[in-house]
Structures are given as C-alpha cells and as structure tokens.
Structure 1
C-alpha cells in the first residue's frame, strides 16, 4: 500500500484507539505522509521512533506487532514456557506499552514478569538472568528527545539480541501483516490467569546484593562528596541505595531532576555525553563543594562523570577517558588478575584502553559498535573458558564492570567511579591528575566525534553516497582501510588484505600512523552518521594539533 492507503486503513478502523483517532484527525498532509510512509522497522537494535498514530510511529499497534513477533519467535525457539521479563522507563506511554506487551504474550499463554514502576535498563538485563526468563523487553528510547519511545528485546542471557537471533526475531515480526488486527487479552484476564506477574523489590534486592561485588578496596575512605542526578530518569532509587550500601553517605541529589519527567524539562538533552546536561549538577556541586558529579541517562545504561580540575571548575570526562581510568583501577586492585583475562571494547573506542590492558598483560578484544556484541563475546568466553571477562566499555559512556548484567550498567559504573575518585582523593589527586599520569605513561590519546544529521526522505540516500565516496576514496594519509561491509583490512601500499573476523556492518575505518584513525558509521536508530576521530601524540599540544588536522582533512570533504 502507498501512504494514502495506509492512512485510510487506519482512519476507517472502527476500533482504533480514541486518542490515536483524534490525533489522526488533527494531522496535516505532510504529517500524515511522514507517519504512514513505510513502517517503523524492528531492526537489530530493536525499534525506536516518534510517538503518534501511523505505521511509521511508536504506538500500541506497532508495539503489539513487535510483541506478536516476540511470541512467535519464542515459540519457534521452544522457550515460550520460560516467560518474559518486562521493564520500562519514564517516557510517555512506557508503562502502557509494557502492559500491551503482556496482553499480546498472554494470548500465546506466555507469562510476563513486569516491574510495578520504572527501572533502569541494566535491572531488566539482570532480571532476565535472575528469573531465568526466555527473553526480556525494555521500553525505552534511552536519551532521545521526549517525543520518542522505543522497544528493545533481550535474549535469555540478558543481552540485546545479537545479529543471528535478531534476524530470526525480525523474520517473525515481518510475518504480522495487519498490526490493527492483533489479538490481545484484557489486563484483568491475564492477571486472573497468572500470565502477568508484578515484580519489584525481590529483584531489586537481588540486584543490590550483586552490586556488593563492585568493591575493590575496603580501606578506601567513603567520605567522598558526591552529587548525583538521574536526569529525570530511572536511576535515582537504585543508585542512591547502592551508594549507601557501599558506605557513601555524602550523596547529594539534584532535587530538580529527581522527578521522573518524560519532558526532561531541565535539560536540552537528557544525555550525559553532552556537557550541558551537567548544568544543574555543577550548580549543586558548587553549593556543597562536591568532589565529583555523577549523571546517568534516563534508562541508566550510560554514565557521565565530572570532577574538579586545578582551576576549581568541574569538567566532564569523556567516555574513553573514564573507561580507561576504571579499567586501570579495577585491574590494579583486583586480588588476582587471571592470566587469560580479556577486556572488550568496540572498534570506535580509543586505543588508550588497549594500552592500559597491555600494561597488565590483559588481552583486548574489539567488537562492532553496540553492547550486544560485547555481551555476545562474554557469553562465548564463559562457555569456552578461553578468556575471563574483566571489563567492557564503549566510548559512548557505556560500561560493564561485572557480568551479572549483560548490558552497559550505569549503576555498577557509578559505584566503581566513586570508589576510584575516593581512592585518588586520598592520594591528593583528582581524576584529572590520574588521567594526566595515564597520558604521561601511555601517550596522549585524544578523540572527537562529529555527527551529521540528514533527515527527510532522501537522508538515507545521502548517507549511502557519503559512505561510498569515502569507501572508494580513502582519507589522505591512510595506510590501511578496514571495511566492515566486506570484512577486510587492506594495506594501501601493498594491497594485502586480512580478514577482520567480525559480522558485516556498514562501517569504514581508516588507520594512519601511530594509533591515529578515523571511522565513519551510520546510526542504526537515527537518520544520521557519525565520524569518529582518534589520535596519539607525545605531548598534549602535539595531540591537539594532530586531532585538528585530521578533523579538518575529513570534514572538508563534506
């Protein structure tokens, strides 16, 4: 059907949900075309989109379609009897979408375990493992703007579906022809039949018990002054409880951001990667003379940390910097670092982490971008015994310290970051002093990121054109090209190629000399592409200049 036919199909449906019917009535032609041109696809990263009526929007019908596909997938895999854990964040309609999932699964006789209130994404990951469920669903759009929501599916290990499983799930979703005709049971009916089970404190307490393992030095004084903000999201309760459990008694909440607000009304973007998200935390920090500021994104899978520098001002660490610092702290303070230890990060993460791992004779494994690939490697090594996982992280502020969860976990990371900051404070150092020591030891690793947003119907075409141009015309000065679509690393002077041994992905990475590289990657959930830049210099000034030159060289081509 074309978009006009799809619109008429929805408009003429007598049982269409009243609020969606009213919204349809108030839409202009451009809005209707955008809402019904194509379908909101369930992809390898799940489903994420703008809320509203239409086949290309997040609403009860597109959610039912995803839930129906999940039911069919679980039946196909023979795992329907294990049930599904479901959690949701503070966004508009999140709880409604969680219940709709249970109502669809209930038609298939599949039990759901649904939290009574909002929970962080890592808690959902943990719940799947703790309850031995067959799958998990997290209703969240992470740090997207308020008009978005999303739907992520987890496997029985508590990890987002890796490509092979995602393809099987997508195949089942795509068999659902009419999202308006999907059968559901009433909530009262599935409650009476025991097909929806409300969970909260029992799982929280089990998760908090596991968090006690995120302690590496009992002798560190816990009198650190901490400002914490969940940016109107899900982390406040569990983060503050876990900090208190670990002995951190001087925790100051940003009161304006404790409330679960789907509008995220005090920030332009609820993303700790963006330094403006720390505005209220910095004001609070100055008021209470805090040592460190900690911020999580709305679903608490990302962590940002700001600490004081010598000038007395708070500055935010990058994800690469914080990840390398936490990796070093854990390895330096573990009772024993196993000889077969492995640290796992992604192809767009700084080489600083590898330098730290090398210092402790720990193997570094690189995966494609997306924590599901890190989780997949953890499970592979747990099964084979080839390596023992010690740390995993992405440059985009996502870290996993211990593997009782299988997604990036900002609650775990908060505990480690705070103990680390307390340790360095006892040495008369800030986190930035520690980072400077890193640079002096390993070299000055600097990074930057440029995002290019290309919305509209021709956006994907433009992104493909840019990717093809760079793919066949390498960046000036490149000595090797890694094309993850073909799975080859090619040395430009000799023409020799070697296999990358990673799944196919539309990513191109150019290596220059001395650990300098840039990488182009289209987003899997938004109409944009990202340009990653990373350099190494012998001095801060040399690294700064090299980074500027590399960025200018690449971006002038746009």
Structure 2
C-alpha cells in the first residue's frame, strides 16, 4: 500500500471524523486521482502560512489541517515568547467558506494551551488584522483568507508581533513545531464554550476599526480646510464581495468624498464571488460592473478591492474616453509620485521607498530624482514589512512600499499591503489631478515623459499536482543549467540566482554575492534597462515569469515587451513539451 493510501485509510477509519469531511471522502473514493491528490502530501506551510482547496485530506484546507498548523504555532510561541499566553493572538477572517469556522477552531486549540485569543465578531480585511496586532500588542496574528483565489480555496496566514507577515526564519521554526504534531486528527482542543468560560476568548466588535480609521485619516495630504469641503470627484467602488466595504466607505466619508457610488451587486460578502470569474482586481473582468456603473455616473475613478482588501485595482478614463484598468506598477508609481510631491523634505529623516525585485524600475528612478532612498526586497510584502520593522530601530522613514501585484502601503501603522489606505490615497490623488485639469492617465504620461517609458508584463503558468510540481522544477533547472545569452533580441548582462546568492556579470566575467535571503528565483538583467525574472509561487501550483523594459516611447516599449514575452514562452513551452 502506498503512503497516500495509508493516510486515506487512517482518515477513513477515524470514528469521529467531521461529518461533512466524511461525506467528502465518500465522494472521493470513486476518483483515485482526486483521492491521491488529497493525500499524497501534507498541505505545505510556506513563508507566511498555507493555502489550499477546501475538503478532506492532508493536502486540503479543513479543520484538522488548520488545527495542526495552530498547534505548531502555539508550540512556537510558548517556546519563543515568554508572555505569549497573556498577550495572546488576534484572529480575523474574510468572506470565504469555512473562514469563521477556522477562526473558531484556531481559538479552541490556542485555548487548550492557555493562550488568550481575540476574534472579530464578523469578517474583517487583512490590513485591519495587521493593525490589530500592533494595536492590541498581541504576540501574533492569524488571518483566515485565500486572498483572490477561486471560491474552492481558503488559507491561513500568520503575522508576527510587529503586525507583518512572518519571514522565512520565523516560518521555519513554526514548520518545525508543526512537524512535531504527528497526527492532525488528534490535536487537542477545548470546546468553544469552555474557552469563553475560562475568559480566554475575547470577541471584538468595532473598537479596532475606530482606531484604524483615526490612523487612516492621518495619511491625507489635503489641507485641514480642504478635508472639510465636499469634493467634486465621482467615485465608483466595488469590494468584489469581500471585506472592504465598511472601512473604504467610512474612510472616504472622513475626507468628505461624498460622491461615492457602490456596485450594489458586489457589496455583500459572497463566498462564491458570483458576479465575477475571479475576485481579483488584477484581472480586468473583475471591473466590468464597476465600469457599467462608472458610465452611468460619469465617474472620475473606479476602485476595486480583492476579498481580503489587501490589493487595490483602479480604472480611469483613457484618451479614448474609455475606462482602462491601471497596472499595479502604473498605480504604484503614480501614488509614489503624489506622496513625494507633498512631503516636507526638511522634516523627513532618511526617507525610504521599498519595492520588490519584480516591481517596475520606474519607482527607483522617481526615488533617485527626489533624493529618496530606494530598496529592493524579495517578492512578497512580508519582506517589505520586515524592512519597515528594521526602520523602527534605525530611524529611517518609511515613505511608501509597493509591489507589481496591486499591493501598496502608505503608512506603517499597518505592516502589510493595505487596499484601504491605497483607496484613500488614490481617490485623493485623482482629486488633485482633476483640479489640475488632468486624469490619472494624463499624470502617467507626464511621468513617462520625465523618466522614460517603462512597461512591464507577467506570465503565470499553472501546473497542478505532482506532475506539475516536477515540471516547474524542470523549467528552473533548465534555465540555470543552460542560461539565456539573449532574450527578445536584448543581450543578457547579469544573471542573479537567488537560490545560490550569486550574481554573475556576464560581460565582465565576474561574480558577486547577493545580500538578500536565498529564494528559488532567477533574474536576468538585459541591455537598455530590460529584465526578466522566473519565480515559482510559494502558495499555488504556478510558475511566474516577469519582464520589463524601458523604451524611447510607448510603441517602442510595447514592441520590446512583446519580443521578451514571445522569447520566454518559446523557451518555457519547449521545456514542458
């Protein structure tokens, strides 16, 4: 009998197995491939947590895999935080199937170990959880969410005492603790009533929200007088069936943006995300209803947040008077430019902008032109959060952080990407440019004229199951062992292999050490400011390859980017075929 079959038998023979999971197992018995996929491995706990398809099995999100993860987290905290029991853990959850149930299960495990938990009475955004850790001074935080994944997914993210996602060094210790739990089916818990009776569970209503909104009000660049005036700006907002409705609408009200139309069909939480193919503001189809409402109201700006409200998409009218969704890079440089325009440089000590290695180089160009230090991190906002935590000690001033995948942070009162903050600043920015007689696309053209026509793209290739994992590894092995000499007609000048921490300067035939942490990622720097980066996802069965150029004009940039894309796809398809 194979190992996955033994695991299935263990679950199948467990007499007190949850009834819904038992029903799911019975359905899987007639589909050997599906059964194998549910049990061939344990759901991996990555650098921030775990994410997977809901259902029965060790490779699925369910109450038993969640309990096992929480059991390991409890052990880690009790070993490494002497005050963990009293400081406790705050838990939030989004609108997905089983989210509140997983939050309660987490509290039941933590309660068994005497660790106090704070759980929100109803769904909340991820950035509010990040804020709550700091506001309540808890030892850690848990967010139950699968972000913008399809409805069949859910996830479990862990935050450290700074309110930022855990980094690899912390994750490794938690994983080691999780692995000491041999049987996920027998993790000890208390009943919810017992945890409540012992005073180890505190239900949170709106006290954290109120404190967050006070901090949100402080990020505005508007004058005191202007804040109080009604703004001539028509806004359309969709929370895409997620968690952002209350905080975004209240935040806009605080600044007297009174002309806000909400997409009513998408205002209510819905785990099926029934009005969109994907609840991801990166995908333009998610804006279809917002665009319809925008046309009805002649809106100046459309805002869309993903289900857990850590990503923001924005659409505005282009030169053809049609709504167009800005890329994450475009919105990022617009926000950064707006912030830089309004800071008092005489009072800002060592200002810093942080971006990831796969985010547009235009951010660095704006930083250099404005005497702001720019820092690259590995992909993932956890690394941006880690840098901000360091600034608490060094005295440097965090000014702005962003990544190409629609993640932005303006103020460090939260330590993860924050679509609520970004929605406020994007609206304010649109108002600023409207007073100048310009749209955000006009403002973007001004940036291109000043800094160059930067353009970026990304291809995401999903390869599911064990075979898919092997194909992803084959792609990475191939481009390491047989590296590109040129891509899309652009010569390779540097190869950065983050798994070995070696930077190879191909034209100078010398090597340097990469100072960032190791990661299974490879980046190629090309002539004329072009670049390419290969990176497998840490939470999904995907490999992504990113690419960017800087052309002399818009057409030149589009042609260069297309050449890169075609060259990369030809190589990757050749490997997996």
Q: TM-score, normalised by structure 1?
A: 0.98
1:220-299 correspondence runs (5 A): 222-299=231-308
* Offset, 1:390: 0.4
SS at match of 1:457: helix
Q: Displacement, 1:217?
A: 2.1
Query: Equivalent residue for 1:548?
Result: 562
Contact 1:447 1:532 in 2 (8 A): yes
Aligned to 1:481: 495
Offset, 1:229: 0.4
1:105 alignment counterpart:
110
Residues in 2 aligned to 1:87 and 1:510: alpha-carbon distance in whole angstroms: 39
After TM superposition, what 4+ stretches of structure 1 lie above 6 angstroms from structure 2? none
- Where does residue 36 of structure 2 map in the other structure? 33
Choose 145-154 or 20-29, whichever is displaced more: 20-29
Contact preservation (8 Å) 1:348, 1:369: yes
Once the two structures are superposed, what CA deviation does each residue of 1:175-219 show, in whole Å capped at 9, x if it has no partner?
100011111111111111111100021100000000011210224
SS in 1 for 2:527: coil
Aligned length: 557
SS of the equivalent of 1:269 reads coil
Cα distance between partner residues in 1 of 2:465 and 2:171: 27
Kindly indicate whether the alpha-carbon contact (under 8 Å) linking 1:222 and 1:419 is maintained by their aligned counterparts in 2.
Answer: no
Q: How does 1:498-537 map to 2 (within 5 A)?
A: 498-537=512-551
1:250-309: CA deviation from partner (whole Å, max 9, x where unpaired): 111000001100000000000000000000000010111111000000000000000011
Indicate the SS of the match to 1:294.
strand
Aligned mates of 1:369, 1:508 — CA distance in 2: 12
Residue 191 (1) aligns with residue 196 (2): yes
Are 2:553 and 1:539 aligned?
yes
CA contact (8 A) 1:486 1:504 kept: yes
Pick aligned residue for 1:94 from 99, 106, 109: 99
Point out the more displaced range, 430-439 or 214-223: 214-223
Q: Secondary structure at the match of 1:557?
A: helix
Instruction: From 138, 141, 144, give the equivalent of 1:136.
Output: 141
Q: Distance in 1 between matches of 2:496 and 2:256?
A: 46
Structure 1 distance, partners of 2:265, 2:373, is: 43
The aligned counterpart of 2:397 is: 388
Indicate the residue corresponding to 2:130 in structure 1: 125
**Shift of residue 339, structure 1, vs aligned partner:** 4.8
Give the superposition deviation at 1:456. 2.6
Q: Does 1:80 align with 2:80?
A: no
Residue 150 (structure 1) aligned with residue 155 (structure 2): yes
Give the superposed CA RMSD: 1.1
Residue 380 of structure 2: aligned partner: 370
Q: Does 1:414 align with 2:423?
A: yes
In 1, the alpha carbon distance for the partners of 2:364 and 2:243 equals 32
Aligned residue among 207, 218, 230 for 1:213 = 218
Post-superposition offset of 1:416: 0.3
- Indicate yes or no: 2:48 matched with 1:45: yes
Q: Deviations over 1:316-363 (max 9, x none)?
A: 000001000000101101233625111000000010111111111101
1:444: which partner in 2? Answer: 453
Task: Give 5+ residue unaligned stretches, structure 1.
Answer: none
Where do 1:49-68 residues align within 5 Å? 49-68=52-71
- What secondary structure sits across from 2:221 in the alignment? coil
- Cα offsets for 1:49-85 (capped at 9, x unmatched): 0000111110000000011011101101124221000
